[in-house]
Structure 1
Amino acid sequence: MTRLPKTARAALSPTTLHKLPDGKHADGGGLFLFVRSNGASRRWHVNAGGKTHSIGGFPEISLSVAREQALKIKGSLALGIDVKPKTLKTHTLGSIAETVHDNRVWGNEKHKAQWINTIKTGVPDLYDRDISSIEVAELETALLKVLKKTPVTGRRLRQRLSDIWDKAILMKLVTLNLPDALKKTLEQGTPKVKKGHHAALDWRKAPAFYQWLAQDDLSMGKLALRFTMLTAGRTKETLLAKWSEIDGKLRTVPDTDMKMGRTHLVPLTAESLKVLKLAKAHPHAEKGYVFQSPRYGDKPLSDGAMLALVKDRDKKLFPNHFTPHGFRATFKTWAKETNVAREEVIEACLAHATNDAYDRSLYMQEREQLLTKWTKYLTS
């Protein structure tokens, strides 16, 4: 590191730069830090050759780097080299995150928005920092804070930060992927997530629960949950359903909305079409998503809407815990217990991948018959 002359040093200290009040704070030799907006803006400048030259912002530009740049500018001017005022370009964590985000192909707008928001809300204090200045300890502290509160979100955040650091390595801004290096330490410092099956409602109680949902035709959440039960689909498939995907008695779910990444055809029974008609007549109905958010007209219903209905159920009638996703298990268990269809047809309704790479059958007629029987059972 370049050492400044004794007369130009020791005015400012790296440990106190964050605490300086608004104003001009000299370091010596023409270098000064200009603080304004209650400390929100901190920028380095150097007076040389009768002009003020901007060096860059703090903390992106550290005190030692600012001193080096000040000397370079003064040296260039002494040699007669013209120096135009400029700001050193910094690569913040946020700018690299946005580059990774913009260059990625997204399956849907919701996931696209969630990805970048996870970074902004997960490590807000680091978002505008020069990625090369971020220390291991502060990144670990930020990640542990999220992991201890919400382990699933924390693990997702660490993986996304890892992608950002990979990009920074390719840009030769850093040499080590800090999120990857911290993986083992973070796992040891946070509770393990118990993995298991989604809790499901006993298939014998499914009709009673469906009838409870059907009592209210004005609840968009209940309409969405009814449609989920009737089609044996994933909640994501229901929430992202668009009117453009409905053609008569058939819904075509695009591959981007499917877990397996393959287009899925869903036969629609008379009851399913009834639910769709009610959704279209809903006060919050729009032309885009079938199940619109009552709060945000251009957005689909949130994940929590159906989950809230399950949580608010009558605990006397349905004492055991279950989840909206668990209705897929309820459907399959009913189908197996009552022996109403072949295994292949049941799996096709659930859009599950088969082990037979040569089996490309859709079983549309049998699937329509199976969902019709399931609908009749639910509405009985």
Structure 2
Amino acid sequence: MGGATGIRTRKKHPDKALSVLGIRAIEKPGRYADGNGLYLKVDVSGAKRWELRTVVRGKRCDIGLGGLKAVSLAEAREQARKYRAMARNDEDPLAEKRRARKVVPTFRVAAETVHEEHAKAWKNAKHADQWINTLKTYAYPALGDRRVDQIDTPEILKALSPIWLTKQETARRVRQRIGTVLDWAKAAGFRSGNNPVEEISKALPRQSDRKGHHAALPYVEVPTFVQHLRGEDATIPDLAFEFLILTAARTGEVLEAKWDEIDLEQAAWTIPAARMKAGREHRVPLAPRCIELLNQVKLFAAGSGFVFPGRSGKKPMSNMALLMSMRRMNSAYTVHGFRSAFRDWASERTNFAREICEAALAHIVKDKTEAAYRRGDLFEKRRELMATWAAFVGGHVASITTLRSLG
């Protein structure tokens, strides 16, 4: 028709009422329709933004699509089309928008978040450092920069395979810690479905049987070992090591001991709950030899709050100092194993009741009924036990009066 009269008619596009040039020219505040519920809103300030008006599950809904500077006309139309299609299919565009806006963290960020949240409940800083450092060393190379919603069995396999057979205990800890991070990610809404760590063992080779206990020096050899620790040139690590053996305490409990926990007059050491594995305060009776060791160490550690300080005096001595003592004596046993040596000695060479020996090691009573009725800590009975142990360790066998008949 236009060709016959020479007049060119303009084809209307009711669903594309706006144009890029037209938008630039708009200055007056108001709402400008593009069609199919898409509007350009101009604020009094001059800011321009997109809005879709549609019906979601029978209810009118206005959905913001972003500002004009970030979202072009074509992008706004495409997003509006997507949301309208979702609404027709009885889906919720607003829920989809919230999911898209949520920033999913990388494994590195998630791990550090979990570490920060959990560290408040951990008993000591050393464990907290080990927790995150194992992930930094063994998990971050394969998982660190991946979003937590993109991690599956292949990525975890890549992280664990290099250490699964060569560093078995470490690998198991890394696996457990990766699982903790992914559990947190699911709870926080960043993941869905099962935790892939639960299935990873099927893809890994079978590890050799675990060693159930720390390698312990046979108790009959403990007196000889202690004799090597003693001498005119005894150092703080030597004194700490003997103190650890005589008290049957854990390494961290001894190394982090402070003078305000020691009562020399009462010959008692009270370890606060925060440093105990069981999470409750533990009193340790100190044999006379322990008091001698404490008086000796005072000469080395004057001015420090720690009983066994490091070189600076501001921090406790490192557990490497005790390990070096073991190596110096060419011992293949572990420091922690002296607790086992003490327990074996108590069982085989004395008549002390089992509950007294277990209390000396600060073990929790597993029987709930027994635990409910046991109110005391058997302190005085433990004092006798530890004095007997100190006599044995010192080689004073003749003074031990509680030996069991082995015939």
- C-alpha distance in 2 between matches for 1:76 and 1:225: 75
Partner of residue 140, structure 1? 157
1:165 aligns with 2:182: yes
Q: Deviations over 1:230-261 (max 9, x none)?
A: 10122232233222322222111122322222
- C-alpha distance in 2 between matches for 1:274 and 1:179: 55
- C-alpha distance in 2 between matches for 1:238 and 1:135: 42
Deviation at 1:286, TM superposition (A): 6.4
TM-score (ref. length: structure 1): 0.68
Query: Kindly tell me: are residues 280 and 329 of structure 1, through their superposed partners in 2, closer, same or farther at Cα, counting changes over 3 Å?
Result: same
Unmatched tracts of structure 1, length 5 or more: 1-68, 81-86, 316-320
> Which is higher, the Rg of structure 1 or of structure 2?
2
Query: Kindly tell me: are residues 88 and 323 of structure 1, through their superposed partners in 2, closer, same or farther at Cα, counting changes over 3 Å?
Result: closer
Q: Deviations over 1:211-235 (max 9, x none)?
A: 1011265533322211111101222
Partner of residue 370, structure 1? 385
Contact 1:151 1:190 in 2 (8 A): no
1:327 aligns with 2:335: no
Deviation at 1:266, TM superposition (A): 0.2
Query: Kindly tell me: are residues 308 and 359 of structure 1, through their superposed partners in 2, closer, same or farther at Cα, counting changes over 3 Å?
Result: same
- C-alpha distance in 2 between matches for 1:299 and 1:305: 13
Deviation at 1:94, TM superposition (A): 1.8
- C-alpha distance in 2 between matches for 1:210 and 1:144: 42
- C-alpha distance in 2 between matches for 1:298 and 1:178: 43
Partner of residue 282, structure 2? 264
Question: Helix, strand or coil for the counterpart of 2:215?
Answer: coil
Amino acid in the other structure paired with 1:195: K
5 Å-filtered alignment, 1:12-27, equals: none
Deviation at 1:77, TM superposition (A): 8.7
Question: Helix, strand or coil for the counterpart of 1:149?
Answer: coil
Amino acid in the other structure paired with 1:95: V
Question: Helix, strand or coil for the counterpart of 2:171?
Answer: helix
Query: Kindly tell me: are residues 88 and 366 of structure 1, through their superposed partners in 2, closer, same or farther at Cα, counting changes over 3 Å?
Result: closer
Question: Helix, strand or coil for the counterpart of 1:145?
Answer: coil
> Pick from 168, 175, 185: which aligns with 2:192?
175
Partner of residue 72, structure 2? 75
Amino acid in the other structure paired with 2:375: R
Deviation at 1:164, TM superposition (A): 1.0
Query: Kindly tell me: are residues 150 and 289 of structure 1, through their superposed partners in 2, closer, same or farther at Cα, counting changes over 3 Å?
Result: farther
> Pick from 110, 117, 126: which aligns with 1:96?
110
Question: Helix, strand or coil for the counterpart of 1:227?
Answer: helix
Query: Kindly tell me: are residues 202 and 184 of structure 1, through their superposed partners in 2, closer, same or farther at Cα, counting changes over 3 Å?
Result: closer
5 Å-filtered alignment, 1:190-205, equals: 190-205=206-221
Question: Helix, strand or coil for the counterpart of 1:287?
Answer: coil
Contact 2:255 2:308 in 1 (8 A): yes
Partner of residue 354, structure 2? 343
Deviation at 1:361, TM superposition (A): 2.8
Contact 1:98 1:116 in 2 (8 A): yes
Question: Helix, strand or coil for the counterpart of 2:217?
Answer: coil
Query: Kindly tell me: are residues 217 and 277 of structure 1, through their superposed partners in 2, closer, same or farther at Cα, counting changes over 3 Å?
Result: farther
- C-alpha distance in 1 between matches for 2:75 and 2:362: 73
Partner of residue 279, structure 1? 297
Partner of residue 39, structure 2? none
Deviation at 1:190, TM superposition (A): 5.0
1:353 aligns with 2:359: no
Query: Kindly tell me: are residues 130 and 280 of structure 1, through their superposed partners in 2, closer, same or farther at Cα, counting changes over 3 Å?
Result: farther
Partner of residue 240, structure 1? 256
Partner of residue 15, structure 1? none
Amino acid in the other structure paired with 1:271: R
Contact 2:108 2:140 in 1 (8 A): no
Partner of residue 57, structure 2? none
Deviation at 1:185, TM superposition (A): 2.7
Partner of residue 55, structure 1? none
Contact 2:179 2:197 in 1 (8 A): yes
Amino acid in the other structure paired with 1:206: V
Question: Helix, strand or coil for the counterpart of 1:123?
Answer: helix
Unmatched tracts of structure 2, length 5 or more: 1-65, 78-100, 396-407
Partner of residue 309, structure 1? 325
- C-alpha distance in 1 between matches for 2:275 and 2:324: 23
Query: Kindly tell me: are residues 277 and 147 of structure 1, through their superposed partners in 2, closer, same or farther at Cα, counting changes over 3 Å?
Result: farther
Query: Kindly tell me: are residues 314 and 129 of structure 1, through their superposed partners in 2, closer, same or farther at Cα, counting changes over 3 Å?
Result: closer
Question: Helix, strand or coil for the counterpart of 1:265?
Answer: strand
Residues matched between the structures, number: 297
Query: Kindly tell me: are residues 343 and 182 of structure 1, through their superposed partners in 2, closer, same or farther at Cα, counting changes over 3 Å?
Result: closer
